[in-house]
C-alpha cells in the first residue's frame, strides 16, 4: 500500500495521477461498459491481475482480459508491476488516474451523442438505482436529495467539494464484510420554484 504525505495509508497501492480529462472516442467508449467501470472501481483499492479481477466479477478470464485490454488501449489502465509465478509473468493492472473527468467532447463524438440521443457512457444514477434497490427494500439505504435555485457557475464551483468527499470515502480503511456504495450527483431540474426574494437576494428595482 502507498503512503500519503500525512504518513497514513492511501489507496490504491500504486502511484497514479489525481485527474485525467476524458474527451476522445476511445476513452468514452471504454467507459460505456459496466464491466469495465467495475474493473476501474476495483483497481481504486489496489492493483490486480486479470485472474483476480475475473474472480471478483465472476466472469471468465478471457472476457475480463478483453475488457482490461480495452482499458489499457484507452489509457485508463496500465501495468504497474509484475511477478513471476512458475515461470509465468503475472501482470498487475492499475488505473492511470483516481478520477476520469468527462470533458468537452470532440465534434466526432458529439455527433454520435446527438444521433444516439444520450451520451455514450453509462448513467451513474441508473447504475446506482439498480445496485441500491435491495438496500432500499430492506431499509438499509441512506439517501437524501436537496433542490437549490443557484447559478450554474455556483453549481460548477460546488462540485469539487462533493468530489473531495467521494475521495475521502474512497480512502477509508478496508475492513468489515460489506461493500458500501456512495453516489453523488449535481444536475439541473425542472423542480418547482418559490417566487419572491430569498434571504440575501436583492429584489428587482432595489438599490
Give yes or no: residues 47 and 143 share one domain: no
Identify whether 180 is part of a domain.
yes
Same domain for 130 and 53?
no
Local structure of residue 11 (DSSP, 8 states): S
Q: Which whole-number Å values give the CA distances from 146 to 34, 125, 152, 189, in the listed order? A: 28, 15, 16, 11
Q: Are residues 10 and 61 in the same domain?
A: yes
Q: Is 21 helix (H, G, I), strand (E, B) or coil?
A: strand
Q: Do 15 and 4 form a contact (C-beta atoms < 8 A)? A: no
| Number of structural domains found in the chain | 2
Q: Please check whether residues 7 and 79 belong to one and the same domain.
A: yes
Q: Could you tell me if 8 and 93 lie in one domain?
A: yes
* Domain stop point among 120, 142, 174: 120
**End-of-domain residue from the set 83, 100, 120:** 120
For residue 3, what are the CA distances in angstroms to 124, 171, 197?
30, 11, 49
Same domain, 91 and 15: yes
* 37: in domain: yes
Q: Which domain holds residue 136?
A: 123-188
Reference 48, options 18, 68, 66, 63; nearest CA is: 68
CATH of the domain at 48: 1.10.10.10
* Residue 196 forms part of a structural domain: no
137 occurs within a structural domain: yes
Q: Tell me the pLDDT of the chain (207 aa) as tens digits.
A: 455 555 555 899 999 999 999 888 889 889 889 999 999 999 999 999 999 999 999 999 999 999 999 999 999 999 999 998 888 899 999 999 999 988 754 444 443 444 445 677 778 899 899 999 999 999 999 999 999 999 999 999 999 999 999 999 999 998 888 999 999 999 999 999 888 766 666 655 555
Same domain for 99 and 28, yes or no, is yes
Q: What is the pLDDT of residue 102?
A: 83
Amino acid at each position: 500500500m502507498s503512503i500519503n504525505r500525512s504518513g497514513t495509508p492511501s489507496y490504491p497501492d500504486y502511484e497514479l495521477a489525481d485527474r485525467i480529462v476524458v474527451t476522445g472516442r476511445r476513452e468514452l467508449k471504454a467507459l460505456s461498459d459496466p464491466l469495465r467501470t467495475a474493473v476501474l472501481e476495483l483497481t481504486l483499492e489496489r492493483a490486480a491481475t486479470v485472474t483476480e479481477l475475473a474472480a471478483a466479477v465472476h466472469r471468465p478470464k478471457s472476457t475480463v482480459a478483453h475488457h482490461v485490454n480495452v482499458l489499457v488501449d484507452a489509457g485508463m489502465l496500465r501495468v504497474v508491476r509484475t511477478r513471476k509465478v512458475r515461470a509465468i509473468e503475472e501482470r498487475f493492472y492499475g488505473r492511470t488516474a483516481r478520477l476520469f473527468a468527462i470533458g468537452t467532447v470532440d465534434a466526432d463524438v458529439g455527433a454520435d451523442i446527438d444521433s444516439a440521443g444520450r451520451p455514450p457512457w453509462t448513467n451513474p444514477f441508473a447504475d446506482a438505482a439498480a445496485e441500491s434497490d435491495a438496500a432500499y427494500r430492506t431499509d438499509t439505504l441512506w439517501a437524501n436529495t436537496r433542490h437549490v435555485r443557484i447559478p450554474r457557475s455556483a453549481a460548477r464551483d460546488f462540485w469539487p467539494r462533493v468530489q473531495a468527499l467521494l475521495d475521502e470515502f474512497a480512502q477509508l480503511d478496508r475492513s468489515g464484510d460489506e461493500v458500501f456504495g456512495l453516489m453523488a450527483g449535481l444536475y439541473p431540474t425542472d423542480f418547482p420554484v418559490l417566487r419572491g426574494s430569498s434571504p440575501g437576494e436583492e429584489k428587482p428595482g432595489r438599490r
